[in-house]
Amino acid sequence: MIKFAPSILSADFNVLGEQMAETARGGAGWAHIDVMDGTFVPNISFGNPVIKSIRKRSDLFFDVHLMVVNPERKIRGIADCGADLITFHYEATSDPGACIAAIEETGRKVGMAIKPGTPVSVIEPFLHRLDLLLIMTVEPGFGGQKYIPASTARIAQARAMFKAAGLDTDIEVDGGIKRDNVDVVLAAGANVIVAGSAVYSGDVYANTKDFAEHFREWDAAHK
Ligand code: DX5
Ligand code: ZN
């Protein structure tokens, strides 16, 4: 089943809670929450107090994408703020296995992300320990960038690796996903779709509903 995760990075933070509620009303089940430290990526976004605050008003599944160095130090705090899934970057740590263990310890779902330049093969030792693999389809750091076409083959490669291991693990794509290219990533094997600017620019409810209806049709046609 497809899961839809609008990225709040592109929201209007003056009315963040209201806009998140619009995505829920439009049919999104997840909220994608980009935490950036200004070091792993050039940008700074928001952190624990914001997550804690939006948690009080939202029942969405909180998908926290950590773009921070030494993520192992941040995991406990993020979990305590109400994350449901915590995704760290493979490139941000010297010990991905320890990060996975730290997330497991919190009882939250485990995600690992790879940047566009990182070979997909690095995931091999961790296949069985991941609930989700996040394949970045732009360079992490900013919303509103263009989908990198070489990502499509990377999604298919990861899907084939999980399949060969007998796993049906979630594969999430993040960056440059719009209504007009989403079928490409779905066909390649992604099933968790992040969209930031495509949802949060303009009519948030209508944009969400448009994606969500399409996903329902896709799921019905690919049973
Ligand atoms: C980028 C973030 C994304 C971003 C996606 O580093 O990880 O989640 O919000 O935004 P769009 O969909 O506009 O590319
Ligand atoms: Zn993200």
Domains, in order of start, for the chain: 3-221 (3.20.20.70)
Q: Are 204 and 164 in contact (CB under 8 A)?
A: no
pLDDT number for residue 3: 98
* CA 184 / ligand 2 centre spacing (Å): 19
200 within 8 A of 11, measured Cβ to Cβ: yes
> 163 CA to middle of ligand 2, Å?
25
* Ligand 1 cavity residues, CB under 6 Å: 7, 9-10, 32, 34, 65, 138, 140-145, 174-177, 194-198
Q: Smallest Cα–Cα separation from 82: which of 113, 56, 100? A: 56
**Stated pTM of the model:** 0.98
Distance, C-alpha 74 to centroid of its chain: 17
What tens digit of pLDDT does each residue of 98-118 get?
999 999 999 999 999 999 999
Ligand number nearest to the C-alpha of 148: 1
Q: Work out the pLDDT band at 223, boundaries 50, 70, 90.
A: confident
Tell me how far the alpha carbon of residue 195 lies from the centroid of ligand 2, in angstroms.
Answer: 9
For 128-160, write each residue's pLDDT tens digit. Answer: 999 999 999 999 999 999 999 999 999 999 999
Specify the length of the chain in residues: 223
Place of tokens 């298919």: 156
What percent of the chain has pLDDT above 90? 100
State how far the alpha carbon of 130 is from the alpha carbons of 10, 85, 140, 175, in Å.
27, 11, 20, 21
Question: Could you give the angle at which helices 16-26 and 48-55 cross, rounded to 10 degrees?
Answer: 50
Find out whether 67 and 34 touch, Cβ atoms under 8 Å: yes
If one residue of 10, 174, 192, 201 were mutated to test the ligand 1 pocket, choosing by the most ligand atoms within 8 A of its CB, it would be 174
